[in-house]
Amino acid sequence: MGSLELLKSVAKKTMESEFYTPIPDGYKSGKTKYLIITGSVMSGLGKGIFSASIGKLLQDNGYVCSPIKMDGYLNVDAGTLNPYRHGEVFVLDDGLECDMDLGTYERFLNKNLSEQNYLTGGKIFKEVLKREREGGYLGRDVQFIPHVTGEIKLFLRNLAMNTKADVVAVEVGGTVGDIENEYFFEAMRQLAYEEGEGNSCFVNVTYVLEPHFLGEQKSKAAQLGIKRLMEKGIQPDIIACRATNPVTYKVREKISIYSNVPVENVVSCHDRKSIYTVPTMLKEAGIDKSVMEILKLKNKPRPESKEWLDFVKNTTSRKKEVTIGMTGKYTGLRDSYASIIKALEHSGSKFRTNVKIKWIETTEIEKGKKNVVDELKDVSGIIVPGGFGKRGTEGKIKCIEYARKNNLPYLGLCLGFQMAMIEFARNVCGLKDANSTEMESDPKHPVIDILPEQKKIEGLGGNMRLGGRDVLVKKDTKAYKLYGNKTTVRERFRHRYECNPEYIPVLEKNGLVFSGKAPKVPIMQILELPKHPFFVGVQFHPEFTSRPLAPNPLYMGFVEAAIKFGK
C-alpha cells in the first residue's frame, strides 16, 4: 500500500487521525507527476520563465503540462496590488486578476489558463475559514498542519484532475526562508511524501554572485540558500544557477557537493538576449531529459517547431529598429508593462524589427518639467497604457494631442482609450471641460463615466469589467481589417469607467469612429480616426492575448504603422 492509499485508509477509520488529506474522487496517485520549482538567495530570478520553459519542453514531448503559481501574500488575488509593489496585474479569460508569471505561462504554452492555475495565501485561508465555519473539520482545532497544507494539496490534485495533466508544474513564489511561504514548502514536502517515489521532482532556482570587485563567481550564498531548503526536508533533484555569465564547472561542483545533487543536474541559467531562448538552453543542458527520468516519463524527443525556431531567430537577430514611446506613470518599474513589452516583441519578430522603448513619464510633462515635442520627436509611435487614478493623465492627453495632429501612430489601451476620447472632445468637439468622473468628481462634460445601468444590463454585480468578452467589430473599419475581417473578436478587460453614450453623437459627428462595441448594449470598446495613419484606442488589453506565434492583430498594425512612419 502506497503512502497516499495508507492515508486514505487511516482517515476513513477514525476522525481522531492526525492526517488530513482530502482526496478528489477518482484521483489516482502516479497518474499525474509534480514538478516543483522553488527559489533561493533572492526573488526575481525568473522562476516563472524557468517553469514556463520546462513546461514547453514537456509539451514538446507530447505531455499535458498544467502550470500553477503559488504566492504567499494574504491578498486573495493580485487585483489590488500596486504595480510598483508587484509588477503587472495579469488578467485571465475567466476574469481572475493574477501574477504576471501566468502571462509567461500562457505565452510559452500557448494556452488559456484559469483561476485553477493561481493560488495565494489569502485564497487558501479564505477556503479554510469558510470550511471551519461550516463545520467541515468536525470539531478539530484547525492548524497549519494538517489543515492548511491539506487544502493546498487538494487544490493541486483538483488541478491535476480537472486539466487531465500529465505534469503539474508548481512554482512556489518568493524565496526559501520567507515566513509567508513556509506552509507552501511544507505542503510540497508532504505532497512528495504522499505521491511516492518517481512522482515528484524538485528544482531549486538559485543565484550565483559575481561581484565586480572580485572578478569571479561565488557560490556561498547559493549553498546557504539550498541548505535552508534542505532543512525543510526538501531534497532538490535539480539546481538551476542564475547568473550574469555562464556558471563555471568549478562553481557547479561546489554546489553539487553541498546539495547532494549530481553535477550534471546543476546547470547554468545565465542571462540571454531573449527569454524565448531559455527552452533551447535547458534542452541543450539536458534538463528536460533529467526531469523526465526523475518523473519516470518516457523521453520522446521531438524537434522544436520551425515556427518557434523562426520566431526565436527573428527575435535575436533583427536588423531593423523602431522606437516606441511608452507614455505612462509607472515607467520606473518595467514589470508594470510586461505584457505590452512582450506583445511588441511578438509583432517586432514578425517584421524582423527590434522594437525599442523610450520611457516617457507623463507626470513630468503634466508638471511642465518636460516638453511634449522634445519627448516625442524621436519616436515612431506612442502607447498610452492602462492605469488607475488622476496622476499623469493631463500629460497623457498632451501626448495624444501631439500624436493626433502630427500623424504619429497611436495605440491607446484601456485608460488610453478614455484619454483619447477626452482629448478629442476637448480639442476637436469644443467641449473644453470634458473629463472623466474618475479624474474629476463633477465635470461639465463627463465623456467618461461609471454607468451603473450598463453594469446592471451586463449582470456584473459590481463596478469592474474583468476577463474575456466578445467585441462586435464594425465592417469596413481599420479594426475590422486588422482583425482579418472578423465581426466578432474576444479580448480581455480590466476597467471601471467607460464611454458615456450621451456623447457618442457629438464625437461621431466630428469624425471619431467607434469601430467596436459590446454586444446588445451601447458600450463603446474600440475607437479610431479614419484619416490618421494609425490612431486606435481600445477599452480592453490586447496585450493579454498576444502570443509569440500569434501576435495580437492590433499590435501588429501599430508596429507596422510605426515602421512606416520611421522610414
- Catalytically annotated residues: 414, 541, 543
Given a contact cutoff of 8 angstroms between Cβ atoms, the answer to whether 229 and 40 are in contact is: yes
How far is Cα 176 from Cα 204, in angstroms, rounded to an integer?
10
Given a contact cutoff of 8 angstroms between Cβ atoms, the answer to whether 265 and 238 are in contact is: yes
| Cell numbers that stand for 404 in this block | 493626433
- Going 462 to 465 to 468 to 473, the CA torsion angle's sign is positive
- Going 395 to 400 to 405 to 410, the CA torsion angle's sign is positive
Given a contact cutoff of 8 angstroms between Cβ atoms, the answer to whether 171 and 101 are in contact is: yes
Q: CB within 8 A of 372, min separation 6: which ones?
A: 365, 398, 399, 401, 402
What is the rounded radius of gyration, in angstroms, for the C-alpha atoms of the chain?
26
Beta-bridged to residue 353, according to DSSP, are 320
How far is Cα 210 from Cα 169, in angstroms, rounded to an integer?
30
User: Would you give the end-to-end CA distance of the chain in angstroms?
Assistant: 71
CA distances from 58 to 53, 443, 519 (A): 9, 55, 39
**Ramachandran angles phi, psi of 285, nearest 5°:** -80, -5
Given a contact cutoff of 8 angstroms between Cβ atoms, the answer to whether 427 and 433 are in contact is: no
| Cell numbers that stand for 41 in this block | 538567495
DSSP string of 136-162, one letter each residue: TTTTPPP-IIIIIHHHHHHHHHHHHHH
Peptide bond into 146 cis (omega under 30): yes
DSSP state of 547: B
| Cell numbers that stand for 382 in this block | 506612442
How far is Cα 299 from Cα 393, in angstroms, rounded to an integer?
54
Unique residue bearing C-alpha cell 540571454: 272
**CA-wise closest residue to 337 among 323, 316, 358, 321:** 358
Given a contact cutoff of 8 angstroms between Cβ atoms, the answer to whether 501 and 507 are in contact is: no
**287-308: buried (b, 16+ CB within 10 Å) or exposed (e) per residue?**
bbebbbebbebeeeeeeeeeeb
**CA-wise closest residue to 207 among 38, 69, 39, 53:** 39
Residue type, 37: I
Residue type, 103: G
Helix (H) or strand (E) holding 418: helix 415-427
Unique residue bearing C-alpha cell 528536460: 288
| Cell numbers that stand for 536 in this block | 486606435
Q: Give 234's Cβ-side CA count (13 Å radius).
A: 32
How many other β-carbons are positioned within 10 Å of the β-carbon of residue 520?
A: 9
